[in-house]
């Protein structure tokens, strides 16, 4: 799935657990956390050029890794924005978890799939319900996420 859709969905889901005045902040943190699992592309080796392909959509996309991935995101975000945005670590952690959790599930909706149950199973879940790039899904979600944040109305999320 493309990173924009990953971010938009992560932001929208984070908005569900925010106060109306914090919808933009929740969307930002959820969006960043929603894109974070794809940082697995940084796993590389000069000796094994296929290593990046082997680990993409692997452990970082597993549902069992969500608590750790969300925690890592919140540990990065907290010192950068907590004071400026008057946020607690718990708020940032919740939005990070929610955003991060959407990533593997959304990737499972593509034909490529992902290893949702790693390390319990190496099975790749591929439901093939959404194209990897699908503006008919991404654009309406993006518009609604922005409307929710700007108008401070959770109903748009």
**pLDDT tens readout for residues 122-149:** 999 999 999 999 999 999 999 999 999 9
Q: How far apart are CA 78 and CA 71, in angstroms?
A: 10
CA angle 66–71–77, rounded 5-degree value: 125
Please give the model's pTM, rounded to 2 decimal places. Answer: 0.93
Please state the φ and ψ torsions of residue 114, each to the nearest 5 degrees: -160, 165
> Is pLDDT of 16 > 90?
yes
And the tokens for 86?
A: 């008057």
- Region 42-60: mean pLDDT is 75
What does the radius of gyration of the chain's CA atoms come to, in whole angstroms?
Answer: 16
């Amino acid at each position: 799935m493309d990173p924009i859709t990953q971010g938009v969905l992560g932001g929208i889901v984070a908005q569900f657990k925010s106060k109306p005045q914090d919808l933009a902040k929740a969307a930002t943190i959820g969006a960043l956390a929603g894109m974070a699992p794809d940082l697995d592309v940084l796993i590389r080796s000069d000796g094994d050029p296929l290593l990046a392909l082997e680990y993409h959509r692997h452990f970082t996309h597993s549902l069992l890794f969500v608590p750790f991935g969300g925690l890592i995101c919140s540990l990065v975000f907290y010192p950068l924005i907590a004071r400026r945005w008057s946020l607690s670590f718990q708020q940032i952690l919740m939005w990070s978890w929610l955003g991060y959790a959407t990533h593997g599930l959304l990737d499972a909706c593509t034909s490529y799939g992902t290893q949702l149950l790693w390390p319990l199973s190496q099975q790749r879940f591929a439901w093939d319900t959404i194209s990897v790039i699908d503006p008919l899904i991404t654009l309406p979600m993006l518009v609604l996420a922005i409307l929710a944040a700007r108008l401070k109305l959770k109903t748009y999320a």
